[in-house]
């Protein structure tokens, strides 16, 4: 089924308007083009800041869902879909979170990550089907990502999420929008017209990347995957990351680099456990028990150990 929407309204979207500042961009020098892009990009930060209350609401919704055993599911097409996939993929090495907790789907499937599958975004039923195949349930939260706010594929996913009782969030760069009507929380970052008309991989894409960073990072911190300001659920899979893990343990506990490595090796490179072992002067088994009691929050585990 092709989702019905008014194509006449497409050109009325903010992201489809012509940018007065770039009407003659094709006549500018290389420096002129770059300076104009930089000037337009500077507007994105303020536009994102305007949506902080909605971002906070969305982050709390996602945190609650993950604590309840649910999953975070990003849905998008084109640039928006690729940004969702990027955010989800980076959570495993950074915070130890895999696709059992955070998933991302894109219109057109895996091939669309590397090459355009433009017609896929119009497939409303594919959006429904793709989230259904994930076993979508009431504990999950679906984040629909679309610069226009009217992508049929994303709307199919959001409407299906609503039917099963899952939480729904819309991330868009237009308001009002069909996605706003379909979601419980809407983050509408109004960045204005692009310097190349309709090229939403630019300011709109930058805004979406910023918001996704803010959402996932805030959620990971709230879930206890950061101690002080260090990534303590990071998976040290290479020499660089092992060196970083050693620095984290030394910095947070005051032990030497050599001692930090000793604790990490004893803890099988579990950074959280190594920190607790060093600070609470306990065994690996005791450190793991403290982490279990504290739901994985290092600061809380150390408080329990101190008590």
- Can you tell me the distance from the alpha carbon of 196 to that of 180, in angstroms, rounded to the nearest whole number? 26
Do 105 and 81 touch, CB atoms closer than 8 A? yes
2 is catalytic: no
Catalytic member of 16, 31, 40, 90: 90
Kindly list the strands in the beta sheet with 72-76, ordered across the sheet, starting from the edge strand earlier in the chain: 102-106, 72-76, 141-145, 167-172, 185-188
d(CA 261, CA 270): 11
Annotated catalytic residue within 2, 31, 40, 121: 121
Question: What residues contact residue 251 under an 8 Å CB cut-off, 6+ apart?
Answer: 230
Instruction: Please state, as a whole number, how many other Cβ atoms lie within 10 Å of the Cβ of residue 68.
Output: 11
Note if 121 is an active site residue.
yes
Q: Where are the beta strands (DSSP E) in the chain?
A: 72-76, 102-106, 141-145, 167-172, 185-188, 226-227, 230-231
Whether the CB-CB separation of 61 and 184 falls below 8 Å is answered with yes
Q: How far apart are CA 171 and CA 177, in angstroms?
A: 11
Cα separation, 137 vs 56, whole angstroms? 23
Helix or strand holding residue 188 (H, E): strand 185-188
Q: How far apart are CA 199 and CA 250, in angstroms?
A: 46
Q: Omega of the bond prior to 176 within 30 degrees of 0, cis?
A: yes
Q: Report d(CA 195, CA 20) in Å as an integer.
A: 8
Where in the sequence numbering do the catalytic residues fall?
90, 121
């Amino acid at each position: 089924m092709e989702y019905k929407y008014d194509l006449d309204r497409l050109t009325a979207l903010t992201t489809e308007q012509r940018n007065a500042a770039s009407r003659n961009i094709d006549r500018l020098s290389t420096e002129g083009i770059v300076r104009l892009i930089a000037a337009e990009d500077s507007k994105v930060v303020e536009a994102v800041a305007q949506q902080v209350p909605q971002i906070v609401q969305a982050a709390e919704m996602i945190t609650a869902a993950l604590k309840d055993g649910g999953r975070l599911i990003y849905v998008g097409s084109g640039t928006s879909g690729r940004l969702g996939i990027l955010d989800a993929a980076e959570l495993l090495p950074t915070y130890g979170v895999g696709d059992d907790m955070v998933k991302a789907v894109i219109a057109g499937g895996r091939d669309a990550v590397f090459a355009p599958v433009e017609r896929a975004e119009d497939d409303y039923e594919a959006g429904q089907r793709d989230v259904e195949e994930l076993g979508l349930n009431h504990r999950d939260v679906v984040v629909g990502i679309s610069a226009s706010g009217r992508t049929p594929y994303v709307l199919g996913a959001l409407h299906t999420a609503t039917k099963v009782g899952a939480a729904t969030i819309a991330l868009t760069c237009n308001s009002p929008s069909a996605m706003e009507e379909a979601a419980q929380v809407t983050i509408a970052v109004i960045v204005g017209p692009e310097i190349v008309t309709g090229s939403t991989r630019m300011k709109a894409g930058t805004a979406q990347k910023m918001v996704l960073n803010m959402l996932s990072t805030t959620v990971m911190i709230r879930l206890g995957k950061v101690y002080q300001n260090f990534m303590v659920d990071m998976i040290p899979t290479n020499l660089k990351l092992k060196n970083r893990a050693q620095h984290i343990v030394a910095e947070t506990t005051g032990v030497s680099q050599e001692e930090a490595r000793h604790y990490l090796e004893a803890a099988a490179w579990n950074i959280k456990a190594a920190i607790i072992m060093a600070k609470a002067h306990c065994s690996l088994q005791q450190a793991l028990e403290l982490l279990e009691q504290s739901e994985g929050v290092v600061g809380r585990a150390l408080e329990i150990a101190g008590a």
